[in-house]
Structure 1
Amino acid sequence: MIGPQRPQIVLFGSSLVQGSFSNDGWGATLTDLYARKADIVLRGYNGWNSRRAVKVLDQIFPKDVVNQPSLIIVYFGGNDSMGPHSSG
């Protein structure tokens, strides 16, 4: 029998989130720190920005799900903050 569900931490953002498990990145560090304490869920999408993310929030984080995440870390625009972008 499986015990009680662990807390869920969701990493949501762009390429810096998507790659956070590579080369001992910050996502990998969180997974190591919370091993057997919480489930780390990766929802990082290369090339995404906050405008695109807002359009799919209800799909990625449905309101009717019984077990909601305990923590959501949102990180968009790290690479884009260096200068003007064609999307405005």
Structure 2
Amino acid sequence: MVGPSRPQFVFFGSSIVQLCFSHGGWGSILSDIYSRKADILLRGYYGWNSRRAVQVLDQVFPKEAPVQPSLVIVYFGGNDSMGPHSSGLGPSCTT
């Protein structure tokens, strides 16, 4: 018998989020607190900025997904504050 589905928490951001489970970081602390109470999905990407995040928002959070997150933690900003990369893909976000 399958019980009711648990809430889904999504951590979405740059390397700060990607590494949030390392060395007892904030991701591992939240995971421990919500163990067996929520499903935690890590969507952290090294070097990403807010512009890149907006481009994949519908893929990370599909509107038609059968389960929608109960909580989303978003952290971008460090890479946005850097100067532009010549490829246009690296850190930085220019207007």
Tell whether the structures are fold-level matches, with TM greater than 0.5: yes
Superposed structure 1 runs of 4+ greater than 6 Å apart? none
What is the root-mean-square deviation in Å for CA atoms of aligned residues?
1.4
| Number of residue pairs the alignment of both structures matches | 86
- Cα distance between partner residues in 1 of 2:44 and 2:79: 15
The alignment status of 1:55 with 2:40, answered yes or no, reads no
- Cα distance between partner residues in 2 of 1:72 and 1:30: 13
Match for 1:45: what amino acid?
Y
* Structure 2, gaps ≥5 residues long: 85-91
> Which residue of the partner structure matches residue 89 of structure 2?
none
> Which residue of the partner structure matches residue 76 of structure 2?
76
Normalising by structure 2, report the TM-score. 0.84
> Which residue of the partner structure matches residue 35 of structure 1?
35
Match for 2:16: what amino acid?
L
- Cα distance between partner residues in 1 of 2:33 and 2:67: 22
Greater relative CO (CA pairs within 8 A, separation 6+): 1
Normalising by structure 1, report the TM-score. 0.90
Q: Which has a greater percent of helix? A: 1
- Cα distance between partner residues in 2 of 1:38 and 1:84: 35
Match for 1:11: what amino acid?
F
- Cα distance between partner residues in 2 of 1:3 and 1:45: 32
- Cα distance between partner residues in 1 of 2:13 and 2:43: 7
- Cα distance between partner residues in 2 of 1:68 and 1:56: 16
